[in-house]
Amino acid sequence: MANPMKILVIGSGGREHALIWKLASSPRVSKLYCAPGNAGISQLATCVPIPATDLASLKTFAEREAVDLTVVGPEAPLALGIADLFRESKLKVFGPTKNAAKIESSKAFAKNLMMRQGIPTADARTFESVRLALDYLEQCSLPIVVKADGLAQGKGVVVARTVQDAKDAVVNMLEHRAFGDAGRRVVIEDCLEGEELTLMAFADGKTVVPMLAAQDHKRLGEGDTGPNTGGMGAYAPAPVATPALRYAIMRDVLHPAIEGLSRVGSPFFGVLYAGLMVKDGTPYVLEFNARFGDPETQVVLPLLKTDLAEVLEAVVEHRLDQIHLEWSEESAVCVVLASGGYPGKYEQGLPIAGLQDVSGQDRVAVFHAGTAWKGEDVVTAGGRVLGITAWGSSLRAAHDRAYEAGRCIKFEGQYCRTDIAGRVLT
Q: How far is the CB of 344 from ligand AMP (least distance, A)?
A: 18
| By CB under 6 A, residue 145 contacts ligand AMP | yes
Instruction: Give the residue, chosen from 24, 80, 130, 159, that forms a contact with ligand AMP under the rule CB under 6 A.
Output: 159
Please choose which of ligand AMP, ligand GLY, none residue 119 contacts, taking the beta carbon within 5 to 8 angstroms, the exact cut-off set by kind: none
Instruction: Give the residue, chosen from 34, 62, 78, 122, that forms a contact with ligand AMP under the rule CB under 6 A.
Output: 122
Q: How far is the CB of 378 from ligand AMP (least distance, A)?
A: 30
Measured distance CA(192)–CA(40) in Å, rounded: 38
- DSSP labels for 245-300? HHHHHIIIIIHHHHHHHHHTT---EEEEEEEEEEETTEEEEEEEESS--TTHHHHH
Burial of 165 (0-12, 13-18, 19+ CB in 10 A): middle
Q: How far is the CB of 59 from ligand GLY (least distance, A)?
A: 25
Question: Which residue in 215, 95, 84, 227 sits closest to 153, CA to CA?
Answer: 227
Nearer to ligand AMP, 146 or 365 (CB): 146
Measured distance CA(271)–CA(386) in Å, rounded: 23
Nearer to ligand AMP, 352 or 421 (CB): 421
Which residues in 51-82 are b (16+ Cβ under 10 Å) and which e?
ebebbeebbebbeeeebbbbbbbbbbbbbbbb
Please count the other Cβ atoms lying within 10 Å of the Cβ belonging to residue 348.
Answer: 14
Q: How far is the CB of 342 from ligand AMP (least distance, A)?
A: 17
Nearer to ligand AMP, 37 or 387 (CB): 387
Please choose which of ligand GLY, ligand AMP, none residue 289 contacts, taking the beta carbon within 5 to 8 angstroms, the exact cut-off set by kind: ligand GLY
Instruction: Give the residue, chosen from 171, 178, 191, 248, that forms a contact with ligand AMP under the rule CB under 6 A.
Output: 191
User: What's the distance, CA 44 to chain centroid?
Assistant: 21
Handedness of CA 10, 11, 12, 15 (dihedral sign): negative
Instruction: Give the residue, chosen from 51, 154, 354, 422, that forms a contact with ligand AMP under the rule CB under 6 A.
Output: 154
Instruction: Give the residue, chosen from 16, 75, 84, 189, that forms a contact with ligand AMP under the rule CB under 6 A.
Output: 189
Instruction: Give the residue, chosen from 165, 222, 287, 310, that forms a contact with ligand AMP under the rule CB under 6 A.
Output: 287
| By CB under 6 A, residue 286 contacts ligand AMP | yes
Question: Which residue in 371, 418, 385, 9 sits closest to 230, CA to CA?
Answer: 385
Footprint of ligand GLY on this chain (CB under 6 A)? 154, 216, 231, 289, 293-294, 296
User: What's the distance, CA 353 to chain centroid?
Assistant: 27
Please count the other Cβ atoms lying within 10 Å of the Cβ belonging to residue 32.
Answer: 23
Q: How far is the CB of 157 from ligand AMP (least distance, A)?
A: 4
Nearer to ligand AMP, 157 or 236 (CB): 157
List of residues contacting ligand AMP (CB under 6 A): 122, 145, 147, 154, 157, 159, 189, 191-192, 196, 218, 228, 275, 286-287
